[in-house]
């Protein structure tokens, strides 16, 4: 499962949103979960985070256990989505 946790009004989240939407449009299944206004999503993000990021944007690939904290470029997000190693 690929997760993208974001917050409405978060400028860093909105910077990467076009890339996330592009990948989804290409058929990559990424679950977008807003955390600032949705307590259930915020709790899920906290549970999945394990103290790695502590905020949004937070990308998690459960299969590869690769994650991205914060904004990133398209190449890195594609690497993350494909399960490749992401340097933090």
Mean pLDDT over each residue of the chain, to the nearest integer: 97
pLDDT score, position 14 = 96
Please determine, for residue 47, whether its predicted confidence score (pLDDT) is greater than 80. yes
> What is this structure's pTM?
0.96
d(CA 16, CA 64): 21
Task: Return the CATH number of 2-51+59-81, one of 3.90.220.20, 1.10.630.10, 3.40.30.10, 3.40.50.1970.
Answer: 3.40.30.10
């Amino acid at each position: 499962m690929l997760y993208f946790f974001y917050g409405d009004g978060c400028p860093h989240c909105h910077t990467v949103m076009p890339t996330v939407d592009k990948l989804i449009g290409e058929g990559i299944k990424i679950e977008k979960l807003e955390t600032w206004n949705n307590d259930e999503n915020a709790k899920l993000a906290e549970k999945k985070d394990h103290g790695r990021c502590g905020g949004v944007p937070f990308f998690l690939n459960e299969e590869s256990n690769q994650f991205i904290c914060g904004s990133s470029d398209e190449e890195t997000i594609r690497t993350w989505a494909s399960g490749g190693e992401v340097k933090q």
